[in-house]
Amino acid sequence: MSVRAVAVKIFKHGSVLVRQQHRGVPYARNISQCVRTIEQISPHVQKSTPITNTNNRNVLRNICLQISQQARRILIDNALNRFSFKFGTELIQKAKERGLYGNPVPLLGLVGITLASGGQSILSKDEELEGVWWEIRECVTKIQQTRDLISESDLANNSVKNIDALSIGKPIAKGANAVVYSVKRLAPNVRRSADENSIKDYPLALKMMFNYDVQSNSIAILKAMCREIVPAGSVLNSDAQRNYEYDFLKMNRYLPPHPNIVQIFSVFSDFVPELEDCRDLYPAALPKRIDPSGEGRNMSLFLLMKRYHQNLQDYLKSSNISTRTSIFLFAQLLEGVVHMVSHNIAHRDLKSDNVLLDLSSKSSPLLVVTDFGCCLADSNASLTIPFNSYDVDKGGNTALMAPEIIKKRPGTFTRLDYSRSDLWAAGAIGYELFGVVNPFYGNKNVTRLSSMSYKEEELPDLPENVPFLFQRLIKNLLSRDPNERLNPEVAANICQLYLWAPNSWLVQGQGVPTHAEILDWLLNLAVKLLCEFRSKDFEEDISNSGYISYPEYLLISSFLCRAKLFNIKSALEWIQFNNF
């Protein structure tokens, strides 16, 4: 441990001890006023006088002050010795004396002057580079926020409040708890399009939740289905939600907008309408005013969101994608997981049909995570929650439930840790992305594994065309012990580095780059991002032009907005150790 670290610890703990001993008792900051000299001691005082509690405190106080003063002196000398000053030593001596007796302003002024003049820094070189990158990261974040990443239309500024403002087309998808229709903003004197399923004519999607139990009251509906609106944090700040009746919304966490999280433009409750094919698709969810045999309530929750082309499950069945596209999609999936974990939210129902794709760019599909109805987003809890009875909800989709969750049994001190459960599910989806049957689903030719009892050596191998690095990465994410899995951010960094980093960094034996080299690469990546950006409306085929596509821009910007030099270096160390 360095002298500086020892001095800081002594000063810190000495000050705390002094404050605890003399809480509320004023004392001089100058040690010369606190320690009495021999001449000040009265000659008639006997040295054999018993020490009282007060005297004991005074002795301890003086000792601690002397230790603290000595620690301050060591710290200041150590700090000043790190700089080369080009002016008189008298000014330095005065700064040291004032700093020694509690006035740090002159000392800080000298440090600032020295830093500005190119002197040696009190921080380590790596810490300085991390600080430089922090400034650049903040700049990239602000630029990204101004690139219209949140709003795909004017709906973000003119939110829809009811169904009457929408023209509803054909049904897109139906699940156990909701149905999704294609919609567009209702414009006056505009007829319905002949192709009501065209994403160009109907660029939005309306998700209607099935309501069987909750009374037809807006507040009651929103309270019962509040998990569904977790990705809608950007639209929950209107004046209506500031009413005291909506205080329950503060009980949940909400996700800020992110390129790999579904975009929700509006949330509202309204009467369930009679829509196309409703009697065939979901007759039981209809209210009795529409279908006498229906069991649904009159009102329900509606979510207006961006419309996507396909879910991941259907896309993989109908397309033969390249290995690079698989890696590109896997990187986006991990970025979505990182965003959720960083905001203490667990999806708990991550599967391929809860992942949507925007196929506007043929070579680079945009991936988003959707359907947060089973998520853990309690503002009063972290990703670790008590599990004292079977009444506690573990989440959905037991097939892709992480081992540390599904095998838990309730108990007085038992807790469920979701901090890396979504990461495990992402690893299982990785098999599907690389063209292999998900081992936890199985089929007629593949034996289904149970997440509760499988052994890691039972996991099937990926095809030979899959880079060995990703074979090791997916096996790591599917480790039974969550502590053996990579940190979600490091796992996402591995994918990003494989896509954008120099090839020499990925070769074993080449040595891990320094922080300065990593920073230089990040700067070049940021410049390329800002200079070669093409908007989402740019339709020219740029697959062979060298320019980045809009989904690539979003992926790189997500990486740059959260990247830390330390985590990137950890990812590079893991790559070089595992990429044989």
Which sequence positions are flagged as catalytic? Answer: 349
Neighbouring CB atoms inside 10 A of 193's CB total: 15
Q: How far apart are CA 328 and CA 357, in angstroms?
A: 12
Q: What is the edge-to-edge ordering of all strands in the sheet holding 204-209?
A: 166-174, 178-185, 204-209, 299-306, 264-271
Decide: 425 and 351 in contact? Cβ < 8 Å.
yes
Radius of gyration of the chain (CA): 31
What 3-state DSSP class applies to 431?
A: helix
DSSP 271-326: EPP--TTHHHH-GGGS-TTT-TT----SEEEEEEEE--SEEHHHHHHH----HHHH
Of 383, 160, 181, 159, the residue nearest 274 (C-alpha): 181
Cite the DSSP H helix spans in 164-238: 218-224
Give the position of tokens 């599910």. Answer: 425
**Number of residues written out for the chain:** 580
Output DSSP code: residue 26. Answer: -
Decide: 230 and 378 in contact? Cβ < 8 Å.
no
Q: How far apart are CA 205 and CA 322, in angstroms?
A: 29
Report how far Cα 9 is from the mean position of its chain's Cα atoms: 33
Residue 73: both structure tokens together: 């002196």
Spell out the residues 6+ positions from residue 311 whose beta carbon is closer than 8 angstroms to its own.
Answer: 173, 352, 353, 354, 355, 356, 357
Cite the DSSP H helix spans in 319-442: 323-342, 403-406, 421-433
Q: Bridge partners of 416?
A: 385
Q: How far apart are CA 330 and CA 326, in angstroms?
A: 6
Amino acid at 559: F
Residue 241: both structure tokens together: 């939600």
Spell out the residues 6+ positions from residue 274 whose beta carbon is closer than 8 angstroms to its own.
Answer: 286, 290
Strand pairing class (355-358; 366-369): antiparallel
